[in-house]
Amino acid sequence: MSAGHPSGFTMRSAALGLAFGAVLLLSGCGRDKPAAEPATPAAPAAPVPAPEPRIELSSPPAKVTNERHTGPYAEGAALNMGTELKPLDPSPVKTIRLDTTHKIIEIAPGVKFSGWTFGDQVPAPTIRARVGDRIRFSMTNRSDEVAPGLHFTAAPMMHSMDFHAAMVSPQDKYRSIAPGQTIEFEFTLNYPGVFMFHCGTPMILEHIASGMYGAMIVEPREGYPTKVDREYMIIQSEFYVKPDPQKRRIDGQPLYLLDGDNLKKAAPSYTVFNGQHNGMVKKPLPAKPGERVRLFVLNVGPSRTSSFHVVGTIFDRVWMDGNPKNELHGMQTVLLGSSSSAIVEFMIPEAGQYIMVDHHFANASQGALGLIDATAGKETNKNDIEHHNMPATATPPDPAAAQGKLDFESKCLACHSIGRGRKLGPDLAGVTRRRTDVWLTRWLQSPEKMLESDAEAKALLKEFNNIPMPNQSLTDKEITQYLKYFHWVDSQPLEMVHSAEGSH
């Protein structure tokens, strides 16, 4: 996508596309067998692999209008504003808005840099979604809005959005819009991964180096196959800065501008994690000995490679580009080119501070350093460490059931488990086999009424030491979601779905 000859590029690729389409059509006809051909005696049947879900490519043309968003610069339940990641929002349609702004960001103490952003922060908020989700994206170019005292540092200009997680025409969806304009487009996520997004407006290098990038996590349709105690997003990027030749100051500190010469030489002034020089040294990421940590690591570049390493542990599982099908084991370092990513998982073996570092030590010395602090907190049972290597509780594909799972984990785990035995209340594995939906619905609506009137409920109360289950004040919608979750649990092999250990 150079600034060169966009129209020539489009025409050539359109012509190529036509020719290629014709070849596909022809070969497709040749391969069709006559329907009446007699079946040949079959060799012993090999297990048939589960069919791959269809790739979904429909995406209506992008819409560009002159109506501008006002209010917050970033919106959407799937957005994560910081390093610590929220669990997946199960809704299958994710409406996301990231507006572009020009603002001063502080990349190291006293280094106020004239940056450009998505969602008014660098890096942009992380989007978390999963395969099959529909992304409805919109963005207003608000680079012309006057941030107090700052608008003079960078004139309003064209910007755009390029999602590596999408499969769409760049000329349509990734086109540049003028200040005051809004672009909207949508697409479906087809592959799991940790994907970069960035501004694609020429000079792309300048737009990325000024801060216009972020990560989109796309989980596999069924969730990740392992379970972890902590999830963090780590984005590595470079900054190329020089003092403002006009010597302007911001809040009493010198202003820094993009250094175009060093940018072209790929000689950064800072190489950092999550936009901050040594940021996670000052604010380490919490963990506890014995815990299992999952880092989503994306190297944005724009021009250098990262050798991501954590001192004191080994990545027992690495999913290159964030796709569990690309699994590697026992890695000390992952090598990430510009816009490459990995999900790395490891144990915290004992109390200590574990240093995240780009093992290209020149980069580390420019600020690509962070800490995972596991000094505080009581050591978890070492014998338990192995269980962390067991498969995760999978996530149900149905969004209602997935919501039921999240709710169950936050509201019911104190008294119930799935497949880990009784606690204050019964183990709920198999509950849809021993009770009807009608019974379960009535129970969840009002356990106290059931305990008065229903013989089975009375028997259960007796079995559980006459401790009545408190009314959970659930809405009908929530009850439906719990039931869908319980049905899904009972349709899966138990070791895939049992609940997290303990009530803590």
30-67 b/e (C-beta count within 10 Å ≥ 16 → b) = eeeeeeeeeeeeeeeeeeeeeeeeeeeeebeebeeeee
* 429-458 positions binding ligand HEC, by CB under 6 A: 431, 435, 440, 443-444, 447
User: Out of ligand HEC, Cu ion, none, which partner does residue 468 contact, by CB within 5 to 8 A per kind?
Assistant: ligand HEC
Residue 175 makes contact with Cu ion by CB under 5 A:
no
User: Out of ligand HEC, Cu ion, none, which partner does residue 441 contact, by CB within 5 to 8 A per kind?
Assistant: none
Q: Which is nearer to ligand HEC, 282 or 434 (CB)?
A: 434
Q: Token pair of 444, please? A: 């969840």
Residue 488 makes contact with ligand HEC by CB under 6 A:
no
Looking at 467, 491, 494, 502, which residue binds ligand HEC (CB under 6 A)? 467
How far is Cα 173 from Cα 8, in angstroms, rounded to an integer?
Answer: 18
Whether the Cβ atoms of residue 381 and residue 366 lie closer than 8 Å to each other: no
Q: Token pair of 426, please? A: 């019964």
Looking at 150, 461, 496, 500, which residue binds ligand HEC (CB under 6 A)? 461
| Termini Cα distance of the chain | 52
Looking at 464, 492, 500, 501, which residue binds ligand HEC (CB under 6 A)? 464
Amino acid letter at 88? L
Distance, C-alpha 467 to centroid of its chain: 41
Residue 411 makes contact with ligand HEC by CB under 6 A:
yes
User: Out of ligand HEC, Cu ion, none, which partner does residue 425 contact, by CB within 5 to 8 A per kind?
Assistant: ligand HEC
Residue 183 makes contact with Cu ion by CB under 5 A:
no
User: Out of Cu ion, ligand HEC, none, which partner does residue 284 contact, by CB within 5 to 8 A per kind?
Assistant: none
DSSP state of 276: B
Looking at 159, 227, 277, 388, which residue binds Cu ion (CB under 5 A)? 159
Number of H helices, E strands in the chain: 13, 26
User: Out of Cu ion, ligand HEC, none, which partner does residue 366 contact, by CB within 5 to 8 A per kind?
Assistant: none
- Give kind and range of the element (H or E) at residue 314: none
Cβ neighbours of residue 394 closer than 8 Å, sequence gap 6 or more: 222, 223, 225, 492, 496, 497
Q: Please choose, out of 16-24, 181-189, 203-211, 347-355, the segment that lies near Cu ion by the rule CB under 5 A.
A: 203-211
Report in angstroms how near the CB of residue 502 gets to ligand HEC at its nearest. Answer: 15
Per-residue string for binding with Cu ion, 111-150, x by CB under 5 A?
Answer: ----------------------------------------
Cβ neighbours of residue 313 closer than 8 Å, sequence gap 6 or more: 346, 347, 348, 349, 354
User: Out of ligand HEC, Cu ion, none, which partner does residue 443 contact, by CB within 5 to 8 A per kind?
Assistant: ligand HEC
Q: Are strands 63-65 and 292-301 parallel, antiparallel or unpaired?
A: unpaired
Between the CA of residue 362 and those of 280, 314, 461, what are the distances in Å? 18, 22, 65
Find the largest Cα–Cα distance for the chain: 85
User: Out of Cu ion, ligand HEC, none, which partner does residue 414 contact, by CB within 5 to 8 A per kind?
Assistant: ligand HEC
Residue 300 makes contact with Cu ion by CB under 5 A:
no
Residue 502 makes contact with ligand HEC by CB under 6 A:
no
Residue 460 makes contact with ligand HEC by CB under 6 A:
yes
User: Out of Cu ion, ligand HEC, none, which partner does residue 201 contact, by CB within 5 to 8 A per kind?
Assistant: Cu ion
CB-neighbour burial class of residue 355 (10 A; exposed 0-12, middle 13-18, buried 19+): middle
Contacts of residues 316-321 at CB distance under 8 Å and 24 or more positions apart, as own/partner, are 316/345, 316/346, 316/347, 316/389, 317/226, 317/344, 317/345, 318/342, 318/343, 318/344, 318/345, 319/343, 321/193, 321/194
Looking at 117, 140, 201, 236, which residue binds Cu ion (CB under 5 A)? 201
Residue 277 makes contact with ligand HEC by CB under 6 A:
no
User: By the criterion CB under 5 A, which residues form the site for Cu ion?
Assistant: 159, 199, 201, 207, 212
User: By the criterion CB under 6 A, which residues form the site for ligand HEC?
Assistant: 411-412, 414-416, 424-426, 428, 431, 435, 440, 443-444, 447, 460-461, 464, 467-470, 472, 482
